[in-house]
Amino acid sequence: MKKINTWGMLIVPVIVLAGCSHAMAPEGHYQDSAIVADGNAADWGLPLRFGNESNTLQYNVTNDKKNIYICVLSANEITQLRMLRFGMTVYFDPKGEKHKDIGLRFPISKQPDPADYRGRGGNASRESDKTRMEGLLLQSDYYGTTGFLDIDNGQFATADTKSPIKVAMKLNDKDSLLVYEAIIPIKNIPGIKPGKQHFSVGIVLNGVQGQRENGYGSSAQSSGGGMRGRGMGGGGMRGSMGDGGGGGMRSGRGRTIGSYQDVQEDANWYVFRLADK
């Protein structure tokens, strides 16, 4: 695995592989500065340390003594619409594998709006896409939890001040970035402790069965899930975040967007140890 030092970020990823539980995972990056879950990427050094295989989103995972911090961002409109419509899930596996027993779902998948289905060969205007995203953002006011300690499985309002988990998502008008942030207390994640014990984090764009993509389905050249995420080089997204990866408007299986099909999840897993200051 190629080691890349980008913008001083210290996390070096290890792709989750069979038998990885016998190897020592690298220590993560300690979060020295305060992070507020407000959908603002200014708290993070850009470009973010990791990216998906299709180069349509970036993300980073850090920690301090109390919390794990996650930031995910994308400037790709198709990926943004997919995140907002089909939802995204962050998984934690204390065994360093790819189990999905502990998960934070935000935004939560939404029912398709028939008005979003575009006509044959048609393309909605940029203004229509922005209006659609703003509407979906307004609906992204709940998150779902599964498998956390002392937190019931179910849905919680993002504005709930009593909730130990904090999430936010915002579309930045200045640079058209959709920014996701989450703060999860370490004490609420079963099996994760400081020291030599390692764990895996999965950043997953949810899949869906039998949906028409039409601009908010799978991103161009989708990775189709699997364990194929990678660290980002100094060039960031190589210009592809705004143009769909330059691969044409085709799904991960090579079918033209606009057809009804199963949209595969885009899963990116890495193994870490908690960093200690």
d(CA 134, CA 127): 11
Lowest-pLDDT choice from 32-36, 143-147, 207-211, 268-272: 207-211
pLDDT at 209: 76
- List pLDDT tens digits, range 238-277: 222 233 332 222 333 333 334 446 788 999 999 989 998 7
Average pLDDT, the chain: 75
DSSP state of 10: -
What's the confidence (pLDDT) of residue 93?
97
251-269 as b/e, with b when 16 or more CB fall inside 10 Å?
bbeeeebbeebebbbbbbb
pLDDT for position 17? 37
Stronger pLDDT, 84 or 240, i.e. the higher one: 84
Locate 75 and state its tokens: 């400037």
- The alpha carbon of 173 is separated from its chain's Cα centroid by a whole number of angstroms, namely 20
pLDDT of res. 208: 83
**Helix or strand holding residue 142 (H, E):** strand 142-146
The per-residue pLDDT for 96 is 94
Dihedral angle sign, alpha carbons of residues 116, 215, 263, 261 = positive
CA dist 131 and 116 (Å) reads 11
Bridge partners for 182 per DSSP = 70, 167
Q: Where are the alpha helices (DSSP H) in 99-197?
A: 126-139
> pLDDT digit string (tens) for 50-75?
999 999 999 999 999 999 999 999 99
> Taking the alpha carbons of 114, 174, 61, 162 in that order, is the dihedral positive or negative?
negative
Q: Distance between the two ends of the chain, CA-based, in angstroms?
A: 25
Q: Strands, DSSP E only, in 198-254?
A: 198-205, 208-212, 230-231
CB 265 within 8 A of CB 205: yes
Read off the tokens for 52.
């998906």
pLDDT in tens, 130-174: 788 889 999 999 999 999 999 999 999 999 988 999 999 999 877
Mean pLDDT score, 9-34: 59
CA neighbours within 13 Å on the CB side: how many for 232? 28
Phi/psi region, residue 131 (left: phi>0; alpha: psi -120 to 50; beta: rest), is alpha
pLDDT at 23: 61
pLDDT for 277 equals 79
Could you give the C-alpha distances from 100 to 92, 103, 225, in angstroms and in order? 7, 6, 14
User: What was the pLDDT predicted at 238?
Assistant: 28
pLDDT by residue (tens digit) across 94-128?
A: 999 999 999 999 999 887 655 554 443 445 455 57
Residue 47's pLDDT band, with cuts at 50, 70 and 90, is: very high
Reduced to 3 states (helix: H, G, I; strand: E, B; else coil), residue 132 is helix
More confident call, 128 vs 18: 128
